[in-house]
Structure 1
Amino acid sequence: MNAQLSDFLRSRRARLSPQDVGLAGYGRRRVPGLRREEVAQLAGVSTDYYIRLEQGRGRQVSDAVLDAVSRALRLDPTEHAYLHDLARPHRATGRGRQPIRRSVRHLLESMRDTPAIVVDHRMVIVTANALGVAVFGLTDDLRSRDRARQFFLDPKSRAFFPDWAADAESVAAELRLQAARRPDDQRLTALIGELCIKSAEFRTLWADHKVREKTQGRKRINHPTVGELVFTFERLALADDDEQTLIVYTVEPGSPTAERLAVLASWTAAHDAGAEAEWRKDNDTAAH
Protein backbone atom coordinates (compact mmCIF):
# COMPACT_ATOMS: atom_id res chain seq x y z
CA MET A 1 0.00 0.00 0.00
CA ASN A 2 2.91 2.36 0.70
CA ALA A 3 4.20 1.85 -2.83
CA GLN A 4 0.73 2.53 -4.27
CA LEU A 5 0.43 5.71 -2.19
CA SER A 6 3.84 6.93 -3.39
CA ASP A 7 3.09 6.19 -7.03
CA PHE A 8 -0.35 7.80 -6.83
CA LEU A 9 0.90 11.04 -5.29
CA ARG A 10 3.74 11.29 -7.80
CA SER A 11 1.37 10.67 -10.71
CA ARG A 12 -1.02 13.37 -9.49
CA ARG A 13 1.87 15.83 -9.08
CA ALA A 14 3.06 15.08 -12.60
CA ARG A 15 -0.21 16.08 -14.24
CA LEU A 16 -0.21 19.62 -12.78
CA SER A 17 1.88 22.62 -13.78
CA PRO A 18 2.65 25.60 -11.52
CA GLN A 19 0.34 27.70 -13.66
CA ASP A 20 -2.52 25.25 -12.99
CA VAL A 21 -2.39 26.04 -9.28
CA GLY A 22 -1.46 29.74 -9.44
CA LEU A 23 2.27 29.42 -8.85
CA ALA A 24 5.06 30.99 -10.84
CA GLY A 25 7.20 28.44 -12.64
CA TYR A 26 10.82 29.22 -11.84
CA GLY A 27 13.77 27.40 -13.36
CA ARG A 28 14.04 24.46 -15.66
CA ARG A 29 12.27 21.30 -14.53
CA ARG A 30 13.83 17.89 -15.01
CA VAL A 31 10.46 16.18 -14.74
CA PRO A 32 6.96 17.44 -15.55
CA GLY A 33 4.56 18.62 -12.93
CA LEU A 34 4.78 20.20 -9.50
CA ARG A 35 7.76 19.84 -7.23
CA ARG A 36 7.31 18.29 -3.81
CA GLU A 37 8.01 21.58 -2.07
CA GLU A 38 5.30 23.24 -4.16
CA VAL A 39 2.73 20.65 -3.13
CA ALA A 40 3.81 21.10 0.50
CA GLN A 41 3.41 24.87 0.17
CA LEU A 42 -0.07 24.54 -1.30
CA ALA A 43 -1.10 22.03 1.38
CA GLY A 44 0.30 24.10 4.23
CA VAL A 45 2.67 21.41 5.52
CA SER A 46 6.44 21.23 5.72
CA THR A 47 8.36 19.92 2.73
CA ASP A 48 9.93 17.21 4.91
CA TYR A 49 6.49 16.07 6.10
CA TYR A 50 5.13 15.85 2.56
CA ILE A 51 8.21 13.96 1.36
CA ARG A 52 7.72 11.40 4.14
CA LEU A 53 4.05 11.08 3.19
CA GLU A 54 4.88 10.57 -0.48
CA GLN A 55 7.48 7.98 0.43
CA GLY A 56 4.91 6.07 2.47
CA ARG A 57 6.57 6.96 5.76
CA GLY A 58 3.84 9.25 7.07
CA ARG A 59 2.38 7.52 10.12
CA GLN A 60 -1.00 8.42 11.61
CA VAL A 61 -1.59 11.10 9.01
CA SER A 62 -4.65 13.16 9.89
CA ASP A 63 -7.78 13.73 7.82
CA ALA A 64 -6.94 17.44 7.77
CA VAL A 65 -3.56 16.83 6.14
CA LEU A 66 -4.99 14.38 3.60
CA ASP A 67 -7.74 16.86 2.75
CA ALA A 68 -5.17 19.63 2.31
CA VAL A 69 -3.00 17.48 0.04
CA SER A 70 -6.09 16.50 -1.92
CA ARG A 71 -6.97 20.16 -2.50
CA ALA A 72 -3.39 20.96 -3.46
CA LEU A 73 -3.35 18.20 -6.08
CA ARG A 74 -6.82 19.10 -7.38
CA LEU A 75 -8.17 15.60 -6.72
CA ASP A 76 -11.75 14.84 -7.68
CA PRO A 77 -14.09 13.23 -5.07
CA THR A 78 -13.24 9.68 -6.15
CA GLU A 79 -9.49 10.36 -6.05
CA HIS A 80 -9.92 12.08 -2.68
CA ALA A 81 -11.57 8.98 -1.19
CA TYR A 82 -8.91 6.78 -2.82
CA LEU A 83 -6.13 8.82 -1.16
CA HIS A 84 -7.73 8.24 2.24
CA ASP A 85 -8.02 4.50 1.52
CA LEU A 86 -4.34 4.31 0.59
CA ALA A 87 -3.11 6.33 3.55
CA ARG A 88 -5.24 4.47 6.11
CA PRO A 89 -6.41 1.19 4.59
CA HIS A 90 -9.22 -0.47 6.45
CA ARG A 91 -9.27 -4.20 6.90
CA ALA A 92 -11.91 -6.52 5.49
CA THR A 93 -14.66 -7.58 7.87
CA GLY A 94 -14.19 -11.25 6.99
CA ARG A 95 -17.87 -11.68 6.15
CA GLY A 96 -17.06 -12.66 2.59
CA ARG A 97 -19.59 -12.63 -0.21
CA GLN A 98 -23.14 -12.61 1.07
CA PRO A 99 -25.76 -14.90 -0.51
CA ILE A 100 -28.21 -13.24 -2.87
CA ARG A 101 -31.35 -12.45 -0.92
CA ARG A 102 -34.64 -13.89 -2.11
CA SER A 103 -36.04 -10.37 -2.50
CA VAL A 104 -33.19 -9.47 -4.87
CA ARG A 105 -33.82 -12.61 -6.93
CA HIS A 106 -37.52 -11.73 -7.13
CA LEU A 107 -36.58 -8.22 -8.25
CA LEU A 108 -34.39 -9.62 -11.03
CA GLU A 109 -37.08 -12.04 -12.18
CA SER A 110 -39.68 -9.26 -12.28
CA MET A 111 -37.59 -7.26 -14.79
CA ARG A 112 -38.54 -9.33 -17.84
CA ASP A 113 -37.86 -6.62 -20.44
CA THR A 114 -34.72 -5.13 -18.87
CA PRO A 115 -31.30 -6.80 -18.63
CA ALA A 116 -29.98 -6.79 -15.07
CA ILE A 117 -26.98 -8.37 -13.37
CA VAL A 118 -25.46 -8.49 -9.90
CA VAL A 119 -21.66 -8.14 -9.77
CA ASP A 120 -19.17 -8.35 -6.93
CA HIS A 121 -16.20 -6.06 -6.27
CA ARG A 122 -13.95 -8.27 -8.43
CA MET A 123 -16.32 -7.70 -11.39
CA VAL A 124 -17.61 -11.26 -11.34
CA ILE A 125 -21.28 -11.62 -12.32
CA VAL A 126 -22.87 -13.36 -9.36
CA THR A 127 -26.34 -13.70 -10.87
CA ALA A 128 -28.50 -12.21 -13.63
CA ASN A 129 -32.04 -12.24 -14.92
CA ALA A 130 -32.91 -14.13 -18.11
CA LEU A 131 -32.35 -11.15 -20.39
CA GLY A 132 -29.07 -10.30 -18.68
CA VAL A 133 -27.90 -13.85 -19.37
CA ALA A 134 -28.90 -13.51 -23.03
CA VAL A 135 -27.35 -10.07 -23.55
CA PHE A 136 -23.98 -10.93 -22.00
CA GLY A 137 -23.80 -14.53 -23.20
CA LEU A 138 -23.53 -16.05 -19.73
CA THR A 139 -23.19 -19.83 -19.43
CA ASP A 140 -22.51 -22.43 -16.77
CA ASP A 141 -18.81 -21.86 -17.48
CA LEU A 142 -17.67 -19.51 -14.70
CA ARG A 143 -15.22 -17.87 -17.09
CA SER A 144 -18.15 -16.27 -18.93
CA ARG A 145 -19.01 -14.44 -15.69
CA ASP A 146 -15.49 -13.23 -14.87
CA ARG A 147 -15.84 -9.83 -16.53
CA ALA A 148 -12.36 -8.39 -15.93
CA ARG A 149 -10.45 -11.46 -17.12
CA GLN A 150 -12.77 -11.95 -20.06
CA PHE A 151 -12.53 -8.29 -21.01
CA PHE A 152 -8.72 -8.13 -21.15
CA LEU A 153 -7.78 -11.73 -21.96
CA ASP A 154 -10.46 -12.86 -24.43
CA PRO A 155 -9.83 -11.40 -27.93
CA LYS A 156 -13.56 -11.64 -28.72
CA SER A 157 -14.29 -8.91 -26.17
CA ARG A 158 -12.93 -6.26 -28.56
CA ALA A 159 -15.66 -7.07 -31.05
CA PHE A 160 -18.33 -7.45 -28.36
CA PHE A 161 -17.53 -4.03 -26.83
CA PRO A 162 -17.17 -1.48 -29.69
CA ASP A 163 -15.89 1.14 -27.20
CA TRP A 164 -13.24 -1.25 -25.91
CA ALA A 165 -10.51 1.34 -25.24
CA ALA A 166 -12.76 3.61 -23.16
CA ASP A 167 -14.32 0.64 -21.37
CA ALA A 168 -10.86 -0.78 -20.61
CA GLU A 169 -9.85 2.44 -18.88
CA SER A 170 -13.00 2.27 -16.73
CA VAL A 171 -12.40 -1.36 -15.77
CA ALA A 172 -8.79 -0.72 -14.72
CA ALA A 173 -9.76 2.42 -12.80
CA GLU A 174 -12.53 0.57 -10.95
CA LEU A 175 -10.20 -2.31 -10.01
CA ARG A 176 -7.63 0.15 -8.64
CA LEU A 177 -10.32 1.71 -6.47
CA GLN A 178 -11.44 -1.68 -5.16
CA ALA A 179 -7.84 -2.74 -4.46
CA ALA A 180 -7.36 0.25 -2.15
CA ARG A 181 -10.60 -0.48 -0.33
CA ARG A 182 -9.75 -4.16 0.16
CA PRO A 183 -5.96 -4.50 0.56
CA ASP A 184 -6.32 -7.93 2.20
CA ASP A 185 -8.35 -9.49 -0.62
CA GLN A 186 -5.89 -12.04 -1.99
CA ARG A 187 -8.15 -13.06 -4.88
CA LEU A 188 -8.44 -9.46 -6.01
CA THR A 189 -4.66 -9.02 -5.73
CA ALA A 190 -4.15 -12.22 -7.76
CA LEU A 191 -6.57 -10.98 -10.44
CA ILE A 192 -4.71 -7.69 -10.82
CA GLY A 193 -1.35 -9.46 -10.88
CA GLU A 194 -2.54 -11.87 -13.57
CA LEU A 195 -3.89 -9.06 -15.73
CA CYS A 196 -0.64 -7.09 -15.38
CA ILE A 197 1.33 -10.13 -16.54
CA LYS A 198 -0.93 -11.27 -19.38
CA SER A 199 -2.29 -7.98 -20.79
CA ALA A 200 -0.03 -5.17 -22.00
CA GLU A 201 -3.06 -2.86 -22.24
CA PHE A 202 -4.04 -3.46 -18.63
CA ARG A 203 -0.42 -3.01 -17.52
CA THR A 204 -0.30 0.41 -19.20
CA LEU A 205 -3.64 1.50 -17.75
CA TRP A 206 -2.68 0.30 -14.27
CA ALA A 207 0.47 2.42 -14.39
CA ASP A 208 -1.64 5.55 -15.02
CA HIS A 209 -3.10 5.35 -11.49
CA LYS A 210 -6.52 6.51 -12.60
CA VAL A 211 -9.38 5.78 -10.22
CA ARG A 212 -13.04 5.91 -11.13
CA GLU A 213 -16.32 4.50 -9.91
CA LYS A 214 -18.93 4.46 -12.65
CA THR A 215 -22.41 4.43 -11.17
CA GLN A 216 -24.22 5.33 -14.38
CA GLY A 217 -23.47 5.90 -18.03
CA ARG A 218 -23.78 4.58 -21.55
CA LYS A 219 -22.83 1.06 -22.66
CA ARG A 220 -22.59 -0.17 -26.23
CA ILE A 221 -22.26 -3.82 -27.16
CA ASN A 222 -22.22 -5.68 -30.46
CA HIS A 223 -24.39 -8.71 -29.77
CA PRO A 224 -23.51 -11.68 -32.02
CA THR A 225 -27.19 -12.48 -32.66
CA VAL A 226 -29.15 -9.20 -32.81
CA GLY A 227 -26.42 -6.65 -33.53
CA GLU A 228 -25.66 -3.34 -31.83
CA LEU A 229 -27.34 -2.61 -28.50
CA VAL A 230 -27.06 0.79 -26.82
CA PHE A 231 -27.95 0.96 -23.13
CA THR A 232 -28.06 3.47 -20.32
CA PHE A 233 -26.99 1.73 -17.13
CA GLU A 234 -27.55 2.49 -13.47
CA ARG A 235 -25.46 0.85 -10.77
CA LEU A 236 -27.38 0.45 -7.51
CA ALA A 237 -26.11 -0.50 -4.06
CA LEU A 238 -27.75 -3.44 -2.31
CA ALA A 239 -28.78 -2.87 1.30
CA ASP A 240 -26.43 -4.40 3.91
CA ASP A 241 -24.03 -5.58 1.19
CA ASP A 242 -20.85 -3.66 0.41
CA GLU A 243 -19.43 -6.29 -1.96
CA GLN A 244 -22.19 -6.67 -4.55
CA THR A 245 -24.10 -4.18 -6.68
CA LEU A 246 -27.06 -4.38 -9.03
CA ILE A 247 -26.60 -3.04 -12.57
CA VAL A 248 -29.71 -2.36 -14.64
CA TYR A 249 -29.54 -1.65 -18.39
CA THR A 250 -32.37 0.42 -19.87
CA VAL A 251 -33.08 1.45 -23.46
CA GLU A 252 -34.79 4.33 -25.21
CA PRO A 253 -38.41 3.31 -26.03
CA GLY A 254 -38.98 2.86 -29.77
CA SER A 255 -35.26 2.82 -30.53
CA PRO A 256 -33.55 0.19 -32.70
CA THR A 257 -32.06 -1.24 -29.50
CA ALA A 258 -35.54 -1.62 -27.98
CA GLU A 259 -36.70 -3.54 -31.05
CA ARG A 260 -33.64 -5.80 -31.04
CA LEU A 261 -33.93 -6.37 -27.31
CA ALA A 262 -37.58 -7.40 -27.75
CA VAL A 263 -36.50 -9.97 -30.35
CA LEU A 264 -33.82 -11.29 -27.98
CA ALA A 265 -36.34 -11.42 -25.13
CA SER A 266 -38.81 -13.43 -27.24
CA TRP A 267 -36.10 -15.91 -28.23
CA THR A 268 -35.05 -16.21 -24.60
CA ALA A 269 -38.63 -16.82 -23.47
CA ALA A 270 -39.12 -19.47 -26.17
CA HIS A 271 -35.87 -21.17 -25.20
CA ASP A 272 -36.82 -21.16 -21.52
CA ALA A 273 -40.26 -22.58 -22.31
CA GLY A 274 -38.70 -25.35 -24.42
CA ALA A 275 -36.19 -26.17 -21.71
CA GLU A 276 -38.96 -26.35 -19.09
CA ALA A 277 -41.09 -28.62 -21.32
CA GLU A 278 -38.09 -30.94 -21.85
CA TRP A 279 -37.45 -31.02 -18.12
CA ARG A 280 -41.07 -31.93 -17.39
CA LYS A 281 -41.02 -34.64 -20.07
CA ASP A 282 -37.87 -36.21 -18.60
CA ASN A 283 -39.33 -36.12 -15.08
CA ASP A 284 -42.67 -37.61 -16.20
CA THR A 285 -40.81 -40.44 -17.93
CA ALA A 286 -38.70 -41.09 -14.86
CA ALA A 287 -41.81 -41.15 -12.65
CA HIS A 288 -43.33 -43.97 -14.74
Structure 2
Amino acid sequence: MNRRELGGFLRSRRERVTPEEAGLARGVRRQTPGLRREEVALLAGISVDYYVRLEQGRGPQPSRQVLAALARTLRLTGDEQDYLLRVGGQLPVRTDQSPEVPANALRLLDRLDEAPAMVVNACWDLLAWNRMLVALIGDPAARPGKERNTLRWLFGGSRGHLPDNHAELGRQAVADLRAAGRYPDDPQVRRIVEELTASSPRFAELWAAREIEVQRTVTKRMVHPEVGEIDLDCEILSLPGGGHRLILYTAAPGTTSRHALDRLRAFA
Protein backbone atom coordinates (compact mmCIF):
# COMPACT_ATOMS: atom_id res chain seq x y z
CA MET A 1 0.00 0.00 0.00
CA ASN A 2 1.27 3.46 -0.95
CA ARG A 3 -0.42 5.76 1.58
CA ARG A 4 0.99 9.00 0.21
CA GLU A 5 -0.05 8.27 -3.37
CA LEU A 6 -3.45 6.95 -2.26
CA GLY A 7 -4.14 10.18 -0.38
CA GLY A 8 -2.99 12.39 -3.23
CA PHE A 9 -4.99 10.45 -5.79
CA LEU A 10 -8.19 10.57 -3.71
CA ARG A 11 -7.80 14.29 -3.20
CA SER A 12 -7.22 14.99 -6.89
CA ARG A 13 -10.28 12.97 -7.91
CA ARG A 14 -12.49 14.45 -5.18
CA GLU A 15 -11.71 17.93 -6.49
CA ARG A 16 -12.68 16.85 -9.99
CA VAL A 17 -16.27 15.73 -9.22
CA THR A 18 -18.91 18.46 -9.04
CA PRO A 19 -21.76 18.29 -6.50
CA GLU A 20 -24.25 18.12 -9.36
CA GLU A 21 -22.52 15.03 -10.79
CA ALA A 22 -22.79 13.39 -7.37
CA GLY A 23 -26.47 14.28 -7.02
CA LEU A 24 -25.89 16.98 -4.39
CA ALA A 25 -26.94 20.62 -4.18
CA ARG A 26 -24.07 23.05 -4.69
CA GLY A 27 -25.11 25.55 -2.02
CA VAL A 28 -24.11 29.21 -1.85
CA ARG A 29 -20.98 29.11 0.33
CA ARG A 30 -19.02 26.37 -1.39
CA GLN A 31 -15.32 27.24 -1.69
CA THR A 32 -13.88 23.75 -2.10
CA PRO A 33 -13.37 22.68 -5.74
CA GLY A 34 -15.41 19.55 -6.35
CA LEU A 35 -16.75 17.61 -3.39
CA ARG A 36 -16.05 18.15 0.29
CA ARG A 37 -14.45 15.33 2.30
CA GLU A 38 -17.66 15.01 4.32
CA GLU A 39 -19.67 14.51 1.13
CA VAL A 40 -17.33 11.81 -0.18
CA ALA A 41 -17.52 9.96 3.14
CA LEU A 42 -21.32 10.19 3.17
CA LEU A 43 -21.72 8.95 -0.39
CA ALA A 44 -19.19 6.13 0.10
CA GLY A 45 -20.75 5.01 3.40
CA ILE A 46 -17.66 5.48 5.55
CA SER A 47 -16.90 7.79 8.48
CA VAL A 48 -15.57 11.28 7.83
CA ASP A 49 -12.60 10.70 10.14
CA TYR A 50 -11.65 7.53 8.27
CA TYR A 51 -11.78 9.26 4.90
CA VAL A 52 -9.80 12.27 6.16
CA ARG A 53 -7.07 9.94 7.42
CA LEU A 54 -6.96 8.20 4.03
CA GLU A 55 -6.43 11.52 2.26
CA GLN A 56 -3.78 12.52 4.77
CA GLY A 57 -1.85 9.30 4.16
CA ARG A 58 -2.17 7.99 7.71
CA GLY A 59 -5.15 5.66 7.58
CA PRO A 60 -5.16 1.86 7.73
CA GLN A 61 -5.20 -0.20 4.57
CA PRO A 62 -8.73 0.10 3.14
CA SER A 63 -10.65 -2.99 2.14
CA ARG A 64 -11.54 -3.76 -1.46
CA GLN A 65 -15.15 -2.89 -0.63
CA VAL A 66 -14.19 0.57 0.68
CA LEU A 67 -12.07 1.25 -2.41
CA ALA A 68 -14.92 0.12 -4.66
CA ALA A 69 -17.30 2.50 -2.87
CA LEU A 70 -14.84 5.36 -3.25
CA ALA A 71 -14.39 4.53 -6.94
CA ARG A 72 -18.15 4.76 -7.49
CA THR A 73 -18.42 8.00 -5.51
CA LEU A 74 -15.53 9.63 -7.37
CA ARG A 75 -16.78 8.39 -10.76
CA LEU A 76 -13.49 6.73 -11.67
CA THR A 77 -12.79 5.20 -15.05
CA GLY A 78 -11.86 1.52 -15.33
CA ASP A 79 -8.14 2.36 -15.51
CA GLU A 80 -8.48 4.67 -12.51
CA GLN A 81 -10.29 1.99 -10.50
CA ASP A 82 -7.45 -0.46 -11.18
CA TYR A 83 -4.96 2.19 -10.10
CA LEU A 84 -6.91 2.91 -6.89
CA LEU A 85 -6.93 -0.79 -6.02
CA ARG A 86 -3.20 -1.02 -6.72
CA VAL A 87 -2.10 1.94 -4.60
CA GLY A 88 -4.59 0.82 -1.92
CA GLY A 89 -2.76 -2.49 -1.62
CA GLN A 90 -5.47 -4.66 -3.15
CA LEU A 91 -3.62 -5.55 -6.35
CA PRO A 92 0.01 -6.64 -6.55
CA VAL A 93 2.51 -4.12 -7.90
CA ARG A 94 4.85 -5.74 -10.41
CA THR A 95 8.36 -4.30 -10.48
CA ASP A 96 10.14 -7.09 -12.33
CA GLN A 97 11.10 -5.27 -15.51
CA SER A 98 13.28 -7.79 -17.28
CA PRO A 99 15.90 -6.14 -19.50
CA GLU A 100 15.58 -9.04 -21.92
CA VAL A 101 13.03 -8.79 -24.72
CA PRO A 102 11.15 -12.09 -25.09
CA ALA A 103 12.47 -14.18 -27.98
CA ASN A 104 8.99 -14.54 -29.48
CA ALA A 105 8.69 -10.73 -29.63
CA LEU A 106 12.02 -10.50 -31.47
CA ARG A 107 10.85 -13.11 -33.97
CA LEU A 108 7.64 -11.16 -34.50
CA LEU A 109 9.60 -7.97 -35.19
CA ASP A 110 11.62 -9.78 -37.83
CA ARG A 111 8.42 -10.90 -39.58
CA LEU A 112 6.85 -7.43 -39.59
CA ASP A 113 8.19 -5.93 -42.79
CA GLU A 114 5.22 -3.70 -43.71
CA ALA A 115 4.70 -1.77 -40.46
CA PRO A 116 7.14 0.09 -38.22
CA ALA A 117 7.27 -1.69 -34.86
CA MET A 118 9.19 -1.58 -31.60
CA VAL A 119 9.23 -3.06 -28.11
CA VAL A 120 9.24 -0.76 -25.07
CA ASN A 121 9.20 -1.30 -21.32
CA ALA A 122 7.08 0.45 -18.67
CA CYS A 123 9.44 3.46 -18.72
CA TRP A 124 9.03 3.81 -22.50
CA ASP A 125 12.62 2.75 -23.22
CA LEU A 126 13.07 1.42 -26.77
CA LEU A 127 14.44 -2.09 -26.38
CA ALA A 128 14.06 -3.55 -29.88
CA TRP A 129 12.78 -2.40 -33.28
CA ASN A 130 12.50 -3.44 -36.91
CA ARG A 131 13.88 -1.96 -40.12
CA MET A 132 10.64 -0.11 -40.90
CA LEU A 133 10.93 1.84 -37.63
CA VAL A 134 14.47 2.84 -38.62
CA ALA A 135 13.11 4.09 -41.95
CA LEU A 136 10.42 6.07 -40.10
CA ILE A 137 12.38 7.77 -37.27
CA GLY A 138 16.03 6.97 -37.85
CA ASP A 139 18.17 4.31 -36.21
CA PRO A 140 17.78 4.28 -32.38
CA ALA A 141 21.04 2.34 -32.20
CA ALA A 142 22.85 5.51 -33.26
CA ARG A 143 21.83 7.12 -29.95
CA PRO A 144 23.28 6.41 -26.49
CA GLY A 145 21.15 4.00 -24.49
CA LYS A 146 19.76 6.69 -22.18
CA GLU A 147 18.46 8.66 -25.17
CA ARG A 148 16.41 5.75 -26.51
CA ASN A 149 13.46 6.80 -24.41
CA THR A 150 10.17 8.27 -25.61
CA LEU A 151 9.60 10.30 -22.45
CA ARG A 152 13.00 11.99 -22.76
CA TRP A 153 12.23 12.79 -26.41
CA LEU A 154 8.89 14.31 -25.50
CA PHE A 155 10.14 16.32 -22.52
CA GLY A 156 13.43 17.81 -23.55
CA GLY A 157 15.15 15.59 -26.08
CA SER A 158 15.68 16.12 -29.78
CA ARG A 159 12.55 17.30 -31.57
CA GLY A 160 13.70 16.36 -35.05
CA HIS A 161 11.70 13.18 -35.46
CA LEU A 162 8.79 13.82 -33.08
CA PRO A 163 5.17 13.85 -34.27
CA ASP A 164 3.35 17.16 -34.65
CA ASN A 165 1.05 16.39 -31.71
CA HIS A 166 3.89 15.58 -29.33
CA ALA A 167 2.36 17.75 -26.56
CA GLU A 168 -0.77 15.57 -26.42
CA LEU A 169 1.32 12.43 -26.77
CA GLY A 170 3.38 13.60 -23.80
CA ARG A 171 0.24 13.93 -21.69
CA GLN A 172 -0.88 10.45 -22.71
CA ALA A 173 2.53 8.92 -21.99
CA VAL A 174 2.66 10.44 -18.49
CA ALA A 175 -0.88 9.24 -17.76
CA ASP A 176 0.16 5.76 -18.92
CA LEU A 177 3.31 5.78 -16.79
CA ARG A 178 1.25 6.76 -13.74
CA ALA A 179 -1.38 4.11 -14.57
CA ALA A 180 1.23 1.36 -14.51
CA GLY A 181 1.27 1.69 -10.71
CA ARG A 182 5.02 1.01 -10.49
CA TYR A 183 5.90 4.32 -8.87
CA PRO A 184 7.60 4.62 -6.40
CA ASP A 185 8.30 0.91 -5.82
CA ASP A 186 10.09 0.34 -9.11
CA PRO A 187 13.57 1.98 -8.95
CA GLN A 188 13.76 2.42 -12.74
CA VAL A 189 10.41 4.22 -12.89
CA ARG A 190 11.27 6.31 -9.84
CA ARG A 191 14.56 7.44 -11.40
CA ILE A 192 13.02 8.68 -14.64
CA VAL A 193 10.16 10.41 -12.78
CA GLU A 194 12.64 12.22 -10.52
CA GLU A 195 14.86 13.14 -13.47
CA LEU A 196 12.07 14.57 -15.62
CA THR A 197 10.31 16.26 -12.71
CA ALA A 198 13.53 18.19 -12.04
CA SER A 199 14.31 19.00 -15.68
CA SER A 200 10.89 19.57 -17.26
CA PRO A 201 8.25 21.85 -15.73
CA ARG A 202 5.68 20.41 -18.14
CA PHE A 203 6.39 16.85 -17.04
CA ALA A 204 6.23 17.93 -13.39
CA GLU A 205 2.84 19.56 -14.02
CA LEU A 206 1.45 16.48 -15.77
CA TRP A 207 2.81 14.10 -13.14
CA ALA A 208 1.27 16.15 -10.32
CA ALA A 209 -2.12 16.08 -12.11
CA ARG A 210 -2.29 12.30 -11.51
CA GLU A 211 -4.08 11.50 -14.75
CA ILE A 212 -4.62 7.75 -15.17
CA GLU A 213 -4.96 6.41 -18.70
CA VAL A 214 -3.53 3.15 -19.99
CA GLN A 215 -2.53 3.69 -23.61
CA ARG A 216 -3.87 1.16 -26.09
CA THR A 217 -4.35 3.10 -29.34
CA VAL A 218 -3.10 6.59 -30.17
CA THR A 219 -2.81 8.58 -33.38
CA LYS A 220 0.39 10.26 -34.48
CA ARG A 221 0.97 12.76 -37.27
CA MET A 222 4.56 12.84 -38.44
CA VAL A 223 6.42 14.66 -41.19
CA HIS A 224 9.05 12.45 -42.82
CA PRO A 225 11.84 14.14 -44.79
CA GLU A 226 11.40 11.74 -47.73
CA VAL A 227 7.71 10.86 -47.90
CA GLY A 228 6.09 13.88 -46.26
CA GLU A 229 3.18 13.94 -43.81
CA ILE A 230 1.97 10.61 -42.39
CA ASP A 231 -1.00 9.95 -40.10
CA LEU A 232 -0.39 6.71 -38.19
CA ASP A 233 -2.51 4.61 -35.86
CA CYS A 234 -0.33 3.40 -33.02
CA GLU A 235 -1.46 0.08 -31.51
CA ILE A 236 0.07 -0.75 -28.11
CA LEU A 237 -0.06 -4.46 -27.23
CA SER A 238 1.04 -5.92 -23.89
CA LEU A 239 3.45 -8.84 -23.96
CA PRO A 240 3.30 -11.56 -21.29
CA GLY A 241 5.71 -11.03 -18.40
CA GLY A 242 8.29 -8.34 -17.73
CA GLY A 243 6.15 -5.29 -18.51
CA HIS A 244 7.10 -5.15 -22.20
CA ARG A 245 4.77 -3.82 -24.89
CA LEU A 246 4.80 -4.14 -28.67
CA ILE A 247 3.96 -0.94 -30.56
CA LEU A 248 2.80 -1.12 -34.19
CA TYR A 249 2.37 1.82 -36.56
CA THR A 250 -0.26 1.29 -39.25
CA ALA A 251 -2.25 3.36 -41.76
CA ALA A 252 -5.64 2.69 -43.32
CA PRO A 253 -5.56 1.04 -46.79
CA GLY A 254 -5.96 3.40 -49.72
CA THR A 255 -4.86 6.51 -47.81
CA THR A 256 -1.92 8.75 -48.63
CA SER A 257 -0.37 7.67 -45.33
CA ARG A 258 -0.53 4.02 -46.40
CA HIS A 259 1.15 4.92 -49.69
CA ALA A 260 3.81 6.78 -47.71
CA LEU A 261 4.46 3.66 -45.61
CA ASP A 262 4.76 1.62 -48.82
CA ARG A 263 7.40 4.07 -50.03
CA LEU A 264 9.23 3.73 -46.73
CA ARG A 265 9.63 0.02 -47.37
CA ALA A 266 12.06 0.93 -50.14
CA PHE A 267 14.24 2.77 -47.62
CA ALA A 268 13.97 -0.14 -45.17
Assess same fold via TM > 0.5.
yes
Q: Does 1:176 align with 2:169?
A: no
Q: Describe the superposition over 1:201-259 as per-residue Cα deviations: whole angstroms up to 9, x where unpaired.
A: 111111211011111232222223322211112221223x1410111111112211122
The CA distance in 2 between the partners of 1:102 and 1:11, in whole Å, is 41
- Whether the 8 Å contact between 1:108 and 1:128 is mirrored in structure 2 is yes
Partner of 2:116: 115
The CA distance in 2 between the partners of 1:225 and 1:31, in whole Å, is 54
Instruction: Tell me the amino acid that sits aligned with residue 84 of structure 2.
Output: L
The alignment partner of 2:204 has SS state of helix
The CA distance in 2 between the partners of 1:139 and 1:235, in whole Å, is 19
Q: Does 1:16 align with 2:17?
A: yes
The alignment partner of 1:249 has SS state of strand
Q: Does 1:151 align with 2:154?
A: yes
Q: Describe the superposition over 1:3-28 as per-residue Cα deviations: whole angstroms up to 9, x where unpaired.
A: 22222111111111211110122341
Partner of 2:259: 259
Q: Which runs of 5+ in 2 are unaligned?
A: none
Q: Residues 47 and 27 of structure 1: is their aligned pair in 2 closer, same or farther, counting only changes over 3 Å?
A: farther
- Whether the 8 Å contact between 1:238 and 1:245 is mirrored in structure 2 is yes
Partner of 2:234: 233
The CA distance in 1 between the partners of 2:214 and 2:88, in whole Å, is 19
Q: Describe the superposition over 1:131-165 as per-residue Cα deviations: whole angstroms up to 9, x where unpaired.
A: 022213233222442111121112516x7221122
- Whether the 8 Å contact between 2:164 and 2:222 is mirrored in structure 1 is yes
The CA distance in 2 between the partners of 1:128 and 1:85, in whole Å, is 31
The CA distance in 1 between the partners of 2:105 and 2:225, in whole Å, is 29
| Aligned residue runs from structure 1 range 1-288, under 5 A | 1-88=2-89, 90-92=92-94, 95-97=96-98, 99-140=100-141, 141=143, 142-156=145-159, 160-178=162-180, 180-239=181-240, 241-268=241-268
The CA distance in 2 between the partners of 1:72 and 1:105, in whole Å, is 44
- Whether the 8 Å contact between 1:138 and 1:144 is mirrored in structure 2 is no
Tell me the TM-score normalised to structure 2 length: 0.91
Deviation at 1:75, TM superposition (A): 0.5
Q: Residues 137 and 174 of structure 1: is their aligned pair in 2 closer, same or farther, counting only changes over 3 Å?
A: same
The alignment partner of 1:170 has SS state of helix
Instruction: Tell me the amino acid that sits aligned with residue 263 of structure 1.
Output: R
The alignment partner of 1:181 has SS state of coil
**Alignment RMSD, CA only?**
1.9
Deviates more, 1:40-49 or 1:21-30: 21-30
Aligned length: 264
The CA distance in 2 between the partners of 1:152 and 1:8, in whole Å, is 23
Q: Which runs of 5+ in 1 are unaligned?
A: 269-288
- Whether the 8 Å contact between 1:92 and 1:182 is mirrored in structure 2 is no
Deviation at 1:74, TM superposition (A): 0.4
Tell me the TM-score normalised to structure 1 length: 0.85
The CA distance in 1 between the partners of 2:220 and 2:249, in whole Å, is 8
- Over the matched positions of the two proteins, sequence identity in percent amounts to 36
The alignment partner of 2:244 has SS state of strand
Deviates more, 1:214-223 or 1:108-117: 214-223
Q: Describe the superposition over 1:5-64 as per-residue Cα deviations: whole angstroms up to 9, x where unpaired.
A: 222111111111211110122341232110001000110111111111111222231000
Structure holding more helix per residue: 1
The alignment partner of 1:18 has SS state of coil
- Whether the 8 Å contact between 1:218 and 1:232 is mirrored in structure 2 is yes
The CA distance in 1 between the partners of 2:265 and 2:219, in whole Å, is 21
The CA distance in 1 between the partners of 2:131 and 2:147, in whole Å, is 15
